Amino acid sequence: EVPVLSQPPKADIILLQRKGGRTEEQRLLMADGLVDLDVAQILADVKVTQSLNERVFAKAYRYDDSYLEYAKLERHQLRTVIISSITPQRSLLKSCSFQPIGINGVYENQPIFGRTLRLILPNQLDNHARNAPLKCFASRIEERKKAFETLEMDSFPHVSESFNAVVTGLRSNFMKNSLSHLDDAGLTPDSVMLVGRRMLEAT
């Protein structure tokens, strides 16, 4: 949870902060749609089981405005990104003025008062190693399969034992079930990591 105001509420979003320049190793692990953002901080609102609608976009704008004020940042220092496992209808993208930016699976809408939302769709991202972690959450099982196969390749950069455990746990759940299984099973990052560690220890 990231506080977006000096007082509650909080939002279930991921905050990516950059101190100094990114190393080449860091760039290799950042997905399309994130790696090109030359800003100090990125707010990433990740929607795994929730479909997109106008209210999701409106809430993202509120997060953007509130966190900008809370963190005392200038407009050019912050970008807000929505990562959606479920690919929305083209009609929704059109009605909300989202257009492709020339990178598969990455869209932006027209600026509103200097603010531009970026949208990343894991189902449509290219099958590159840097996109594999995000594509693990794609709603289409064939895209998840490609991602897990990429992550298991010897050439994929080693991150940490915890990362490997999470990936293994995710594969155990995601390759057998739809994304809605996450809500039904009440899975948490800790429970997924525990499953992954047990599977790795058994191999």
- How does pLDDT run across 41-75, given as a tens digit for each residue? 999 998 988 899 999 999 999 999 999 999 999 99
At residue 27 the predicted structure's pLDDT band, cuts being 50, 70 and 90, is confident
- Into how many domains does the chain fold? 2
Range of the domain at 188: 127-202
Query: What local confidence, expressed as pLDDT, does residue 117 receive?
Result: 94
Whether residue 156 is found in the same domain as residue 87: no
Q: In angstroms, how far is CA 154 from the centroid of its own chain?
A: 24
Whether residue 81 is found in the same domain as residue 6: yes
Last residue of a domain, one of 123, 149, 166: 123
* Position 163 pLDDT exceeds 70: no
Last residue of a domain, one of 123, 154, 182: 123
| Average model confidence (pLDDT) across the chain | 80
Last residue of a domain, one of 100, 123, 146: 123
Whether residue 119 is found in the same domain as residue 151: no
Whether residue 115 is found in the same domain as residue 133: no
Rg over alpha carbons for the chain, rounded to the nearest Å, is 17
Whether residue 134 is found in the same domain as residue 119: no
Whether residue 26 is found in the same domain as residue 49: yes
Measure the CA–CA gap between 34 and 89, rounded to whole angstroms.
Answer: 23
Q: CA distances (Å), 169 to each of 30, 91, 136, 165, 192, in order?
A: 21, 35, 11, 6, 5
